[in-house]
Chains A and B, each alone.
Chain A
Amino acid sequence: MTTPTETPATTTTRTMLAIEGLTVGYAGAPVIDGMRLDVPHGAVVALLGANGAGKTTLLRTVSGLVRPRSGRISLDGQDLSGLSVEDRVRRGLAQVPEGRSVVSELTVEENLHLGALWKIPGRSARRAAVAEVYEAFEPLARRRRSMGHQLSGGERQMLALARALVARPRVLLLDEPSLGLAPRVVAQLFAILRDTAERTGLTVLLAEQNVTSALSIADRGVVLGLGEIVADAPAAEIAADPALRHAYLGF
């Protein structure tokens, strides 16, 4: 921090996640082309766009699952290039991938311990961290002995989010957490997310098709179209722009 007066975490302008000149492609034309994006510390940024816009590819490139053709990604000023997925996690990056990412053959409790293991190796400290998570995610506490495959869709997504938060990441990447969930469950999940971000200064990059819900908890919206950023503005502004909605979000 360079400023002598301490500012609240959510309003500081320190860049937590910086993406510069990022180009990613599988074969043929790039899926993401020369992208630049800065996410400040403590911000909740909604990543919007149609299917094929490059949202999932962007998140998977940041977490290290996909190697970019060129460009630089840095976390709190540290360059992440060349680091494995596991080492990026150790720098404070967490990703909840799209779909049912719960390990279905493990219990709820085992899933949570797995998420905390690298950060908290001691058994009793880890138990305490998991107990804390149960307080925030009360429905999970009741199902702690259930196997992952016995959970409902909402419970699974809740577990995936809880498991990502138990290791106290600095940046959380979420890929379509609302997929296939009832509106009430989505509202509940997003409320927990917003609350956690405000309480802990967690930085969130949230890829969503459910534009209204995402913008309702985001500070800022970034709209992707064919691998490029076509709009980057405060969430309220994007929600109020009918031309943008028609062109890129389809409603």
Chain B
Amino acid sequence: MDRLAFLLATGLARGLVIALFALSLVIIWRAARIVNFAQAAMAIVAVYVAFAVTQATGSFWLGLAAALVTGAAVGAAVERWLIRLVPSTTPLPGMIVAIGLVMVLQSAISIAFGPKHRPMAAPFSEQPFSVGGVAVLSPYDLFILLVALGVVAVLAVLFNGTTLGLQMRASAMAPEVSRLLGVRVPRMITLGWMLSSAVAALAVLLLVPTELGLNAHSADILFVHAFTVAVLGGLDSPSGALVGGVVVGILISLVTGFLGAGLAPIAVLVLLTVVLLVRPGGIFAAKEARTA
């Protein structure tokens, strides 16, 4: 019983990081109709900058700000100088270029900083609270929970409550009509990339203190899990990313705790296969539209 409670709590915290990263994939899908395979590698670049800032100043918070700013800047640079030059009539060229970008970024980081893991300290204790003798969430887990909910709330207000969000949604869904209505669609797509990359950088920054440390490949598994979540929840659905992230996080935690760590990736793939068989568009995919 104690073990179950602990595994559920840990799964929730890990799941929220996955959810946050999946949310970044949803944002870029909604803004630009692209699955960005380079999301993890781009986020790692931003987190290396955050690491350097934290090392130099001793402040986790300045590092966090640096991760957000660098994430946004990397997103803008990749969109402006790379993805925009790739033909977008079919999704394939963009995907191939993104995969190429992963190789270039990861190799460059490995060449510059070597293969070793650099440990990052969490800003709060990772020692779990115990409630009635049962170990549950740590202060750092609570911090992750608050950040994830905060990001979701900010994004909900941005997309549904502001004119900028209205323009971003319209640009993604109907680019040509939006241009005819005077919306500067290329600018909206760049903004979508910046937002998405910043959220991804934040997710990786939150992840690293709970893992071995920072390395060029620190976010690879996170990307795989988050990609699974985004497909599960439907690439269009922020709430799907959130719920899916928590479900996958808890699944991984339970399977690891009760059956062994080796089975966790298989459990995730089984879940993905089942969902794709039952609801190919994702659990939270929008209902079919009126066509006549």
Contacts and interface: CB of A to CB of B under 8 A. Distances in A.
28 contacts: A63-B180, A65-B180, A85-B180, A86-B179, A89-B179, A89-B182, A90-B182, A97-B177, A101-B174, A103-B174, A104-B173, A104-B174, A104-B289, A105-B169, A105-B286, A106-B166, A106-B170, A106-B173, A110-B166, A110-B170, A113-B163, A113-B166, A114-B167, A114-B178, A117-B166, A118-B181, A121-B163, A151-B290
Nearest to A63: B180
A67 to B, nearest CB: 14
Interface of A: 63, 65, 84-86, 89-90, 94-95, 97, 101-106, 110, 113-115, 117-119, 121, 123, 149-151, 153, 163, 167
Given A113-B163, A117-B163, A103 B177 contact: yes
> Could you tell me the dominant secondary structure of chain B's interface residues?
helix
A94 B183 contact: no
Interface of B: 163, 166-167, 169-170, 173-174, 176-185, 286, 289-292
A101 B183 contact: no
Contacts of B166: 106, 110, 113-114, 117
A110 B173 CA distance: 13
B180 A89 contact: yes
The 5 A-B residue pairs with the shortest CB-CB distance, nearest first, are A118-B182, A149-B289, A89-B182, A85-B179, A103-B174
A105 B170 CA distance: 8
Nearest to B164: A117
Nearest to A118: B182
Contacts of B184: 86
Given A101-B177, A103-B177, A106-B169, 19 more contacts: A65-B176, A86-B183, A86-B184, A86-B185, A89-B180, A97-B176, A101-B174, A103-B170, A103-B174, A104-B173, A114-B166, A114-B167, A114-B170, A121-B163, A123-B163, A151-B290, A153-B292, A163-B181, A167-B181
A96 to B, nearest CB: 8
A114 B181 contact: yes
